Amino acid sequence: MLRNPVDLVYSFHEQLVYLTYENISDFSHAWNLSERRALGSEVTSRCHEPKLLDYKSVGRLGEQVTRLFKTVPRERILVLVLDDMKSGPHREYLKVLNFLGVPDDGRLDFPVRNPSKERQWPRLQNLIVRIGKASMSLRRNLKIPISRGTGLLEKFSSINTKFRQRIPLSQDFRKDITHYYKEDIQLLSAILERDFSNWLRH
């Protein structure tokens, strides 16, 4: 499933901040560090894959889909667009069922999943993560099954989560990111034979 790359990278950054893989909460600052962080510079110790912080590459969907189509036969790929899922979730759901060759289960309700969220107390979350890692290491050493957790850390993590509306990007910054992805969006349009010019509007 694809979405406007500007919204994609902004949402992705927010998710990495929530997971504590990203220590820069200001997206414009993180965006400008993309190339350096892809090379392993200024990467938080919690993020084990520096490429995740290369937001510019993460949003180059045309480039990625081109690579996918060169690797996997087209008949084995179903491409969906989030815009379509929002406007007609049942229609897109039926597309997936048809592609997989499974019967319709009659589902009609498609609630929003994974809404915008943040940590109420980031330092507490860092502590929860450190305790979790230490606990996992101890259980491995004592040969205690990992699945036998108490659930306390998950409970504290849930309490430390606050849902909210995503703050819109400034018009100037959104325009800059859109311009950066312009050629890649045009490439994606050509590959999928679909007009994504609405993604180029600010």
Residues 129-157 pLDDT 10s: 666 666 666 666 666 666 655 566 666 56
Q: What's the average model confidence in pLDDT over 164-176?
A: 86
At residue 201 the predicted structure's pLDDT band, cuts being 50, 70 and 90, is confident
Q: According to CATH, what is the number of the domain 5-116+167-200?
A: 3.40.50.300
Q: Is 90 exceeded by the pLDDT of residue 189?
A: yes
CB 35 within 8 A of CB 56: yes
Domain with CATH 3.40.50.300 in the chain: 5-116+167-200
Tell me which H or E stretch contains 119.
Answer: strand 117-119
Q: Which residue has better confidence, 155 or 69?
A: 69
How far is Cα 136 from Cα 138, in angstroms, rounded to an integer? 5
User: What percent of the chain is modeled with pLDDT above 70?
Assistant: 73
Side-chain-facing half-sphere of 15: CA atoms under 13 Å: 11
pLDDT at 117 over 70: no
Separation CA 57–CA 199 (nearest Å) = 17
Task: Give the separation between CA 154 and CA 49, rounded to whole angstroms.
Answer: 24
List phi, psi (to 5°) of 175. Answer: -65, -40
| Cα gap 92→130, rounded to integer Å | 41
Listed range (19-28, 99-108, 158-167, 180-189) with the worst mean pLDDT: 158-167
Angle at 109 between CA 113 and CA 195, to 5 degrees: 70
* Spatial CA neighbour of 5 closest among 132, 190, 187, 193: 187
pTM metric for this prediction = 0.75
Tell me: the pLDDT tens digits for 1-41?
999 999 999 999 999 998 888 999 999 999 999 999 988 88
